Structure 1
């Protein structure tokens, strides 16, 4: 695989082939039409398998999809009320980020953002592979990608556990320069990774997308306040994706939360505590919680405030996304193909843990004593496994007072097979000597 220019594969991660088997997928993330059609195929489905890895399934294999996946497609087509969008591209890459790094010592305003995850592609093709690595884009690319892709998000059935209608969002990001994008190459469709344990009924990634957008908007607002940036952005009231997580963060920073107000928790009494209180932050208001659609709307509002936006790369990238209309093609008569053989399901290769290889990229940009970058985790960290408990054993001196082991029981004496002859009568064996 020849990856896009702005994607750097991890040197120690293996490059794995990607099997395309419609019977293995469990959820659908996206549906679109590819133009020009590749080998007669126009419609494609972006799906996930049992471990959350991305797979691209052609529309001609829709009948081979599991019944639950076909039901998701039918619901989305009816709920969205419009045909799938069209992508004018010669090749596509699919990216599933797990961690987003926001550099702390960036000099500009629309600074780079590093996304760590798994890249799959190029599609369509006969040698599709996946590899872990880093994709570099700008803050504006992230905001614009999700904001422009929101109208075509995949709709799921609302269940009892979902407060809002669950959806799978995507972002079309630039993986190369504008001249390559103009040729339909280097386009990267991005789907934030959802933990496999949270994909019981669907693969909605609204919380992950809201977390990424909140982190990018927070960095932009901080720079606007520090470097006299756009006033509209500096005074913007920014909500949070999860109020519970915001309260937990304030408590870790030494605040005591009561209602909507967080006040610094006193550490010491007397004069020392009073002097320390003068240097503590004042009371802050706990931000309100907002759903993913509100963060997408905020991203759309903030984009015009970025200096020099939209860039040439952004304009070229959006030219490849066309409205969904029926594709009229001349179909050549084909010989009916035999029914596909039933392939037994196989367990896909589990992905490499992100905490092992992503740190290599993060450490390569670190400076001794420098500020640490801000990381947005899209996958929960696994809890450390507790060490096995050692069985309690008595001290050696206690063995001296232990009772002596009981002697083994003697085996019972073997009884005679025949009862002794009664007195006055000869045993039976003596009769053999009688004449």
Structure 2
């Protein structure tokens, strides 16, 4: 028998351009038209303003975006070159899929750019196509390929196959409920049965909670600390009476007013909801609440601790006495407290946080890209991107990384010879459990 498992996904469903966090490449480079310029957040269509890609005159030129993991893509918006030769993009195909072979040009097709003409930006509806790679290719002809911006908008940031990563926080918690269906000494129906790690859906095997028939029955787990909840998985009774859970609500928060059932955030959160208490309640008269397991996944809610000061720093080279560690010494004032590289090609700086963190934001950064992840290939410069520094006018700039996970934080100026100086890098987040 297949037993029902109700999975409540707390994902953010508002539009987000996930391309900004990806890694771009292309069939060749012409001049300084590097692939990354199509995902820098700048739609300027004048190639000479420095924000467009450009390949050489290749046979079947292509541009590819690696989103780092599979996503459901709702739409793709392409901004074409506007100062000259916009017709070069006519006939280009947009491909989306998980196959990196042949640079992704054989993946399923989202659309064909029949003619952009003088429209600066055109949007193609991909209707939830799944894929890690987005490729734009001019198949079968020798041509230049120029893109001034590519934006990928998602249906859901978190996919179903990512519901329950990490450890189940509920196992560490304390459970209670509004009432008990049987005598306390029987062992059946107790609130803690729903957080015992056993997903057996047969009530008579003794691992399900149950209230009595009552008005607005509820069950609650106290996680003992505040966590940002990313997903909750509920296992329902499977041997009979499975319909009793219909209409149940999930509440998350820090308040115990009305036993924590005051506010519901189910399915409506922008990113993730923070709270200590997770409640399940069925509104109405003469209702019974039975839960065979409640699993809660998330991470400790950040409270403003700079993780970088406890890490170790390195960089591509050393100029004078300006060590990499100068950027994580807790001193924003400089100048003797800054890091400094030589005049390197693609200079970089990296902090090892010594354990994986979920990063919320990083501040006072001077350089091109901020990369976060667990991969040390190419010194970590290929990890997913948190942001691109558009301007260094302000002394301190903050970038929201929205819970990106990783042990290494890199700052890199890609594709050009430059000095890289950082007077302080602050990373705020929490260690992953």
TM norm structure 2: 0.25
Which of 1 and 2 has higher RCO (CA within 8 Å, sep 6+)?
1
TM norm structure 1: 0.25
- Higher strand proportion (structure 1 or 2): 2
Larger radius of gyration: 1
